[in-house]
Amino acid sequence: MTHNDAADNGLITLFNGAGVVASYVLLGLSLWLSTEVPLATKGFWGIGILLLTLSLVNFVKYRFDNQQRVDRINRIEEARNEKLLEEHITDI
């Protein structure tokens, strides 16, 4: 990963984080200003949004961890194959 890739990923992460914060602020503002909705319903909606966020974070983390596991296995297999080829060539 080059320095530019890391900077791009940081910028994308910052942009996505700002989007999440903005959506929470706007959701909170809309719940606060909606006078027809009872407080219990507002709390239920708020808890639902927070649990949805938690689930999405866990889902993304699971997918990321799984991809790291697959990449690690592929690197191990590539190293093993490289060693077998090297041993075969030196035997000839």
Pair of tokens at residue 21: 């914060």
| Residues 59/81, Cβ–Cβ less than 8 Å | no
Mean pLDDT, consecutive 10-residue stretches, the chain (92 aa), reads 70 87 90 88 89 89 91 95 89 70
Alpha helices, DSSP H, located in the chain:
3-33, 39-91
CB atoms within 10 A of CB 48: 10
User: What is the predicted pLDDT for the residue at 72?
Assistant: 95
User: What is the predicted pLDDT for the residue at 74?
Assistant: 95
Angle of helix 39-91 relative to helix 3-33, nearest 10 degrees? 160
